[in-house]
Amino acid sequence: MNKHILFLIHGMGVHKKNWADTVINKLKELSKDYTYFNENKLTDLVKFVPIDYDHVIRDVLNKWQEDSRGIRDFAKENGLDDKNLLSWLKRAGDTERNFLWSSVADVIIYRFFRVYSNRIRIDVIKELSDEINSEINEFGDARCSVLAHSLGTAVVHDCLHHLGAENWGDTQNVFGPTHWRFQSIFMIANTSRLLQTEPKAYDSIVRPGPNLDSNSYCFRYLNFRHELDPVPYPRMFDPIGWSSAYQSIIVQHYRDLGIHGLEHYLDNPRVHIIILRAVTSRWAITEQEAIKAVDNYRQFGEKFEAVEKIRDFLNELAMLKNELGQDLMPVDFIKGFIKFYQVINKHLKGIS
């Protein structure tokens, strides 16, 4: 029997062929907290298929850099002022220490350079359809879900719409929603509305619905957003009137300064439990395990661990203040003062 296929689509920035290793390892590591996955390896149940579209953008940027290099060299050799002569393309293809070209340019190219966004889309569509077809040929059917992050959510939205709605080869589209659909779509830090072109994010078929519904393309759509992640905030994806198969989950945890990062989102049980259950089974994580994981997951941890400790310290000071009250005998005041220093000493090491 075939495994559940989970397509992984990355966001902006440089992504090499093995970009998904850290994401897959993160999910594997998280799954080990649940008993079922100690007897059933996650990778025995789920086939992770990373989709890489970054190479299209890198090729474009490298070409711009190369095309301009000869011109700039010529200008130099011939005493021409090369400051404005394509000098701004000098580092277009560099991936090290080059946030503007290695990350920001991805978003600008995808959103505003329509010829390149179509090139990216057809590349991704081919990878998706080839994988689905290969699965059907081997096992008779394909159960597929998609996990996308940041810029990848906009890419995936556009690609899934085209994959399902286009008349490929002027024939009926058997990848279309009345013949086949995706199981779940997980959108993390969703920018599909922020970066939308045509079709608009709320008007496409990329929404949940039942079998045979030609206006929907998945059974379930889950939207994850961090409360302070600035990326999905402008033109937030927040549809009204969609079915109950659409869910929006806002997370509020802090483990790292990079709160936009995919692994940071996955770390939260309210994110990874949903994903793991959806690609395996409801019983893979019991209700008790889920409740315990969510209850025990503290809001602040790792790099933000001190925040929890400071909060505990402040709570204890507040309690002490309430105990002291207004009218104190001198002896009680001294006792309270000693207790105050004990509280400080108790928390001092932990916080620093």
CA distances from 246 to 70, 96, 272 (A): 52, 39, 17
| Amino acid symbol at 348 | L
Helix (H, G, I), strand (E, B) or coil at 206: coil
CA 159, CA 206: separation in Å to the nearest integer? 10
CA 31, CA 43: separation in Å to the nearest integer? 10
The stretch among 56-64, 93-101, 323-331, 341-349 that binds other proteins (CB under 8 A) is 56-64
Write out the DSSP string of 106-171. HHHHHHH-HHHHHHHHHHHHHHHHHHHHHHHHHHS---EEEEEETHHHHHHHHHHHHHHHS-GGGS
CB of 200 to other proteins, least distance (A): 16
Helix (H, G, I), strand (E, B) or coil at 208: strand
Among 209, 232, 261, 269, binds other proteins (CB under 8 A): 209
CB of 108 to other proteins, least distance (A): 10
User: Which of 46, 86, 43, 50 has its CA nearest to residue 68?
Assistant: 86
Q: Are the beta carbons of 247 and 223 closer than 8 angstroms?
A: yes
CB of 141 to other proteins, least distance (A): 6
Q: Which of residues 104-163 bind other proteins (CB under 8 A)?
A: 112-116, 118-119, 121-123, 125-126, 129-130, 133, 136, 140-141, 143, 145, 162
Pick between residue 3 and residue 292 the one whose CB is nearest to other proteins. 3
Among 13, 19, 33, 45, binds other proteins (CB under 8 A): 45
CB of 285 to other proteins, least distance (A): 9
Q: Are the beta carbons of 8 and 48 closer than 8 angstroms?
A: yes
State yes or no: residue 181 binds other proteins (CB under 8 A): yes
Binding mask 76-115 for other proteins (x = CB under 8 A): --xxx----xx--x----------------------xxxx
Q: Which of residues 211-230 bind other proteins (CB under 8 A)?
A: 211-213, 218-220
Q: Packing angle between helix 114-139 and helix 151-165, nearest 10 degrees? A: 60
The stretch among 148-156, 179-187, 252-260, 292-300 that binds other proteins (CB under 8 A) is 179-187
Pick between residue 86 and residue 343 the one whose CB is nearest to other proteins. 86
Number of residues that bind other proteins (CB under 8 A): 75
CA 46, CA 156: separation in Å to the nearest integer? 20
Among 84, 171, 288, 352, binds other proteins (CB under 8 A): 171
CB of 168 to other proteins, least distance (A): 4
Q: Which of residues 261-290 bind other proteins (CB under 8 A)?
A: 277-278, 280-284
State yes or no: residue 28 binds other proteins (CB under 8 A): no
Q: Strands across the sheet with 218-226, in order?
A: 46-51, 4-9, 144-149, 182-188, 218-226, 246-251
CB of 209 to other proteins, least distance (A): 7
